[in-house]
Amino acid sequence: MPRHYHSVEELPRTLPIFPLTGVLLLPRGQLPLNIFEPRYLAMIDTALAGPRLIGMIQPTQHESTHAKPPLSAVGCAGRLTSFGETDDGRYLVTLTGICRFRVAHEMDVMTPYRQVQADYSAFAQDMISADMVDIPRERVVAALKQYVKRRQLKADWGSVTNAPAETLVNALAMLCPFEPPEKQALLEARDFAARVDTLIALLEMAGAELPDAKSLN
């Protein structure tokens, strides 16, 4: 099986999934995971022996309150690019986003983890890097400054200024503590330009909620 994927035609249609509320994976984004549940340990074992792909997807109801919560319509397939095992049997892995998918249907399986039939056809552009695309970086920086003040967070402003476009947008979208529906909106944005617009809107809305927002301009 291929370890690198260059087109949606190469991606497997049957995809094991990891439903996780509030967690976002985007194409070419990197997501570290601490795997300890037996069902997901088994999923990692199977993925490592095969195409190394796992679908990250948000449930529409929190997985802590439902044994099998319904799934969002869209997730993102990620390739296992880093793997480690701890003394207590946990897996420390990194997923690198490859391509979004739409859930065609969930499969009836005997595995302890869930699997879906994945449809990548609407997301072929995900296979192409957007790092060379121009973005309104000054507006992103201005919105982020208000956002981090409101949340009392810190930012590496050198990286924000100099990071390639897609790298920056992925990092902000994945790391900022947005609400699950906001994370899903970033994932489902039509294309990279729409994702940038969505990210800026979310950052600016959060900044506008500050009671003393005028003093932060």
Number of structural domains found in the chain? 2
Per-residue confidence at 156, pLDDT binned at 50, 70, 90?
confident
The DSSP-derived string for 70-118 is: PBPSEEEEEEEEEEEE-TTS-EEEEEEEEEEEEEEEE---SSSS-EEEE
Question: What does the pLDDT read at residue 216?
Answer: 41
Same domain flag for 30 and 119: yes
Same domain flag for 158 and 76: no
Instruction: State the residue range of the domain holding 95.
Output: 8-127
Per-residue confidence at 210, pLDDT binned at 50, 70, 90?
low
- Judge whether residue 57 has pLDDT over 60: yes
pLDDT, one tens digit per residue, over 30-53 is 999 999 999 999 999 999 999 999
Paired tokens of 6: 């260059």
pTM given for the model: 0.90
For residues 181 and 160, which has the higher predicted lDDT (pLDDT)? Answer: 181
Residue 2 lies in a domain: no
- Judge whether residue 208 has pLDDT over 80: no
Beta pairing partners, 15: 116
Same domain flag for 20 and 91: yes
Per-residue confidence at 211, pLDDT binned at 50, 70, 90?
low
Q: What's the whole-number average pLDDT of the chain?
A: 91
